Chains A and B, each alone.
Chain A
Amino acid sequence: MAKIKKKTKPEIIIPTAGMSDIAFLLLVFFMVSTVFVKERGLNVALPRAAEIEKIPRQNAATIYVDRNGTISIDDYLVEIPMVQNIMARKKMENFNVIAAFRTDADASYGIMSDIMNQLRQADVLRVSFEARQRGR
């Protein structure tokens, strides 16, 4: 009689011992993959493009330009003549730096041209214009 009782008992229990392992595994995954955004930036509406490619995050130095022509790098509002020094410093820290423009679609092109001239002076020649995927 005692034997029969033992047999029937495990059948009605769902094994939950491994559940916490799974939970911890997922937890560790999300903890490792979470990137907390380090800069607040400016509010921009990115343009849309079809031929976009990924920008490696570790090399990207984001330059925010909003629709009024305000420029922000590392959460500091900067004027156009200051861009050269800032980007030259970034180039010293990381030789493969890519200037990633996060520019509002409604910004005027003139300011972008001025910034790109500054980048050329700072010898930061790899640029990327951030855009969202557009369906064809």
Chain B
Amino acid sequence: MQRRKRKNLGGIPLISLPDVAFLLLIFFLTTTTFDIKTGLGLVLPPASEHAEERVRLRDENITRIWINQQGIISLDEEPVSPEELESQVRRIMAQNPEMVFSLRTHRQSRYDNMITALDRLRAAGAERISLSTN
């Protein structure tokens, strides 16, 4: 009996160590959220005071896209659906890869409408996009 007692005093009990580790593991497993930020990137033009020179564009190199208050998209004064916008822009890009798309959204229009149009422009391969409002 005495021998057994002495043995117990000598060692650190490691039996419950995995239990503790698993408990912490479960805690971190449940609290971890892989919150990856995703979005549509865009580079804004510099403010006019910073710009060395304002870029002048010829009219035939600009395609105007309007989004009105109700969220209706119009391309060159003609109302289009988002799907039509994408196919039209794809066609325009094939003709003129230098084309600048001016996306003008009404102030009262929903933000979602602008994102939809921007997304479609991106899907059609448009690189030069300018945002503006009235």
Chain A residues at the B interface, C-beta cutoff of 8 Å: 16, 19-20, 23-24, 26-27, 30-31, 33-35, 37, 47, 49-55, 57, 60, 65, 98, 100-101, 103-110, 112-113, 116-117, 119-121, 123, 125-133
Contact = CB atoms under 8 A, between A and B. Distances in A.
Interface residues of B, number: 46
Nearest to B22: A23
Given A110-B133, A112-B111, A131-B40, A47 B25 contact: no
Contact of A49 (B42, B105, B115): B115
A116 B44 contact: yes
Identify whether the interface residues of A are mostly helix, strand, loop, or mixed.
mixed
Contacts of B36: 54
B19 to A, nearest CB: 9
Contacts of A107: 110-111
Interface of B: 17-18, 21-22, 24-25, 28-29, 31-47, 50, 67, 105-116, 118-119, 122-123, 131-133
Given A23-B18, A23-B25, A31-B28, A47 B37 contact: no
A53 B131 contact: no
A108 B25 contact: no
Given A120-B45, A120-B47, A109 B38 contact: no
B115 A100 contact: no
22 contacts: A20-B17, A24-B21, A27-B25, A27-B28, A30-B29, A47-B112, A49-B40, A49-B116, A50-B123, A52-B38, A103-B111, A105-B112, A108-B110, A109-B106, A109-B114, A120-B47, A126-B44, A127-B43, A128-B41, A129-B118, A131-B38, A132-B38
A105 B21 contact: no
B133 A113 contact: yes
Contacts of A30: 25, 28-29, 32
B110 A109 contact: yes
A119 B67 CA distance: 23
Given A53-B38, A54-B36, A129-B42, 14 more contacts: A16-B18, A19-B18, A23-B25, A24-B21, A34-B28, A47-B116, A49-B116, A49-B118, A109-B111, A121-B47, A126-B41, A127-B43, A129-B118, A131-B119
